[in-house]
C-alpha cells in the first residue's frame, strides 16, 4: 500500500472530519491515490470508528475506489479479444456486490450447465434439444420471469438471478445462452425492442426462443407481428444475432432504467458513465 505506515494512514483518516474542506480534500485525494488495495484497511477502520462523519467519509472513499476498479475492469473487458459474456455480466454485478468473486459466479453457472448436460442428448434434433434445456431450467430448477418486480435492479444482477431464480428477459436469456453455447448449440441473443430473446440459428434451421416466457419457441413471422403490434418498422438487427458487447450494454441500460424508476439519480449517473465507457 504505497509507502504509508499504519500510523500514517490512521493519522490521515483522523483528518477526515476536519472542518477545513481543503484539508479534507487533500486527505481524500491522498487516500484515493493508494488505489483499491487500501479498501480492506478502510473497511476495517469503518467498523472500529464511531465518529459518524468519519464513517460517512470512509463509505464514500470505499465506494469511489470500488467504482474506479469497476470502470477499469469494464475498460479492460471492452478491449479484450473475446469479451467473455459471463465476465462482462460479473463486472456489472460488482456495481452492487463489489466483493463478488468471478470464480463463485462461474461455479454457480457450471452447476446449472451440469444439470442440463446430464439430461442432454446430441442425437436429438434442435427443437427437442431446446425442450430439454427448457425442462431443466424452468421445471426442474424453477427459473421464471420476475413479473412482480420487473424494474428491480436485482434483475440485472446475474448473482441475484441465480439466487432467486427470477430475472428479466436479458438476465434469463444470458443464463440460457451461456448454457446452450457451452453445449455447443448455435444459440445467440437477439435485441428486440422492449424484449430480449434468443435465436437458434444453424445452416438448416432458424427459430426464436422467448426465455422470459419459459422458452416458448416462435418463428420469424412472429417477430414481424410483434414489431407490427408495437408499430416499429422491422430492421435486420431485430432478427439477427447480437454479441456479448450489446448484451452487457443493454444490461447496463436496464440497470440505469431501474435506478431511474427508484429515483436514485446518483446511481443513474454512475451507470450512465459505465455505458459511456462502452460507447467511447
Both 45 and 184 in one domain: the answer is no
What stretches of the chain adopt beta strand conformation (E)?
A: 144-145, 166-167, 187-192, 195-201, 206-210, 216-218
Show the domain range for 32.
6-79
pLDDT score for 65: 93
pLDDT score for 35: 83
Both 65 and 92 in one domain: the answer is no
Both 97 and 207 in one domain: the answer is yes
**pLDDT tens by residue, 59-81:** 899 999 999 999 999 999 999 99
**pLDDT tens by residue, 155-206:** 999 999 999 999 999 999 999 999 999 999 999 999 999 999 999 999 999 9
Residue 234 falls inside a structural domain: yes
Q: pTM of the full predicted structure? A: 0.90
Residue 122 falls inside a structural domain: yes
In the chain, the number of structural domains is 2
pLDDT score for 2: 54
Residue 1 falls inside a structural domain: no
Both 188 and 100 in one domain: the answer is yes
**pLDDT tens by residue, 88-117:** 999 999 999 999 999 999 999 999 999 999
Residue 252 falls inside a structural domain: yes
Domain final residue pick, 42, 59, 79: 79
Both 151 and 207 in one domain: the answer is yes
Burial of 37 (0-12, 13-18, 19+ CB in 10 A): exposed
Domain final residue pick, 79, 104, 121: 79
Both 137 and 256 in one domain: the answer is yes
Both 107 and 20 in one domain: the answer is no
Both 267 and 162 in one domain: the answer is yes
Closest CA to 157 of 92, 88, 69, 104: 92
Both 179 and 248 in one domain: the answer is yes
Both 72 and 159 in one domain: the answer is no
Tell me what the pLDDT averaged over the chain comes to. 92
**pLDDT tens by residue, 2-46:** 567 777 787 788 777 777 788 788 888 888 888 888 888 888 888
pLDDT score for 1: 47
The cell for 113 is: 450447465
Residue 109 falls inside a structural domain: yes
pLDDT score for 97: 95
Cα–Cα distance measured from residue 146 to residue 151, given in angstroms and rounded to the nearest whole number: 9
Checking if the pLDDT of 242 tops 60, the result is yes
Amino acid at each position: 500500500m504505497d509507502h504509508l505506515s499504519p500510523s500514517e494512514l490512521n493519522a490521515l483518516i483522523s483528518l477526515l472530519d476536519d472542518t477545513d474542506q481543503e484539508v479534507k480534500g487533500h486527505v481524500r485525494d491522498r487516500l484515493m491515490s493508494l488505489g483499491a488495495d487500501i479498501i480492506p484497511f478502510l473497511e476495517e477502520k469503518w467498523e472500529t470508528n464511531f465518529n459518524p462523519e468519519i464513517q460517512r467519509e470512509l463509505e464514500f472513499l470505499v465506494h469511489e475506489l470500488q467504482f474506479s476498479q469497476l470502470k477499469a475492469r469494464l475498460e479492460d473487458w471492452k478491449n479484450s479479444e473475446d469479451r467473455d459474456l459471463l465476465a462482462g455480466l460479473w463486472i456489472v454485478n460488482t456495481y452492487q456486490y463489489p466483493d463478488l468473486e468471478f470464480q463463485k459466479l462461474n461455479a454457480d453457472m457450471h452447476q446449472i450447465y451440469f444439470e442440463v448436460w446430464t439430461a442432454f442428448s446430441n442425437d436429438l434434433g434442435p427443437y427437442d434439444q431446446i425442450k430439454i434445456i427448457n425442462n431443466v431450467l424452468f421445471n426442474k430448477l424453477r427459473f421464471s420471469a420476475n413479473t412482480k418486480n420487473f424494474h428491480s435492479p436485482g434483475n440485472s444482477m446475474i448473482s441475484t438471478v441465480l439466487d432467486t431464480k427470477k430475472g428479466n428477459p436479458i438476465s434469463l436469456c444470458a443464463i440460457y445462452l451461456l448454457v446452450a453455447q457451452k453445449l455447443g448449440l448455435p444459440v445467440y441473443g437477439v435485441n428486440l425492442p422492449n424484449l430480449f430473446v434468443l435465436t437458434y440459428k444453424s445452416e438448416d434451421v432458424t427459430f426464436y426462443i422467448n426465455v422470459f416466457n419459459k422458452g416458448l419457441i416462435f418463428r420469424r413471422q412472429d417477430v414481424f407481428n410483434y414489431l407490427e403490434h408495437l408499430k416499429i418498422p422491422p430492421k435486420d438487427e431485430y432478427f439477427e444475432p447480437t454479441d456479448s458487447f450489446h448484451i452487457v450494454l443493454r444490461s447496463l441500460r436496464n440497470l440505469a432504467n431501474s435506478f431511474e424508476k427508484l429515483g436514485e439519480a446518483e446511481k443513474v449517473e454512475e451507470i450512465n458513465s459505465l455505458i459511456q465507457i462502452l460507447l467511447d
